Structure 1
Amino acid sequence: MLTPDGRREASFDGRFYDVATGRPLGDGFGEGVLAISGKGVMAVSGDSMGRIALRAIDAGGKPPPPLRGVAERVAHLAFSPGGDLLASVGDAPGTLQVWDVGARRRLGGAMSAYFAGVPGGGGVAFSPDGGLLYVAEADGLVHEFVVDPARMTRLVCGRAGRELTEAEWREHFDEVPYREVCAG
């Protein structure tokens, strides 16, 4: 997998190599599933325990602590086009998690990515505008998730046709303090 600038190649041995010379660049950051942000500045590696290492490609020294989500092997990783979100999907039972890269925290709770119960799916990807997230199952079925807050607000308010009650808000957005979002 090449970095967007085409100068470095990421290898599944957890290292980057200079494309022109073939020489390794710095220490590896662990084996596992790999993703590179569109900006080419961040690499991630997901392992069998659900840990996700975030690291600047050119960073030296000791890496920061990994993200810790659901303890299952990371099967798929994808950055949003802007590099601010990271989606991870586990192998079994297939847990979908979305991470705020800058804050190094999970957004919302973990949820099942395989509604038909077919783990080991085909992958995870964001839409070009970063507002949608797609998860493919092994049988080819693709699920679409809205991850853009403004788009989600329009969708929820349009379906409800009114402001959400505090009880409805807690049911769906328990980690976020209640506020009116449908007015005007």
Structure 2
Amino acid sequence: MDPAEGRRILVAVDEGDESVQALRWCLANFATRGDGELAPPDTILLLYVRPTPPTYSVLDASAPLGYLFANEATAAIDGYSRAVADAVVDKAQKLCALHNKENGEVKVKVDVKVAVGDARSVICDMVDKLGADVLVMGSHGYGFFKRALLGSVSDYCVSNANCPVLIVKSK
């Protein structure tokens, strides 16, 4: 970490209430606005990971119209994914803006990143790419069996991220 800059806090956000809760907790309890040159403000790196668009057609592509419908379906799915990403990022940015409005001074800097791929690996890759000092994530609170079947993004990141990982448990 460059002493002239504050910490770089990567906050993974998604559609769930758990990630909103993690961001709120981070802003209220962890991120600091700094104190002049001695302690500059932290930067919140909001990261949303969109799923990889489908690369196959569920329709019969051997028919001449199959390609047309497949392309339209793929475009519709991708458009919906982009709209969800925009809505999630907008909500997260508004939370950060509300936090910054207190006393009329900038408490934290905010940078937004949207990536595409498997959330687990993309989050860990972005930790390195963005030079994050800490990763903050929400936890869905899955039980043992559900976590064993579905896997857990937070469990994966705890084991594989190259920085400290702070998990905010859901209430």
Structure number with higher relative contact order (C-alpha < 8 Å, ≥ 6 residues apart): 2
User: Please, what TM-score do these two structures have when normalized by structure 1?
Assistant: 0.23
Bigger helix fraction: 2
Bigger strand fraction: 1
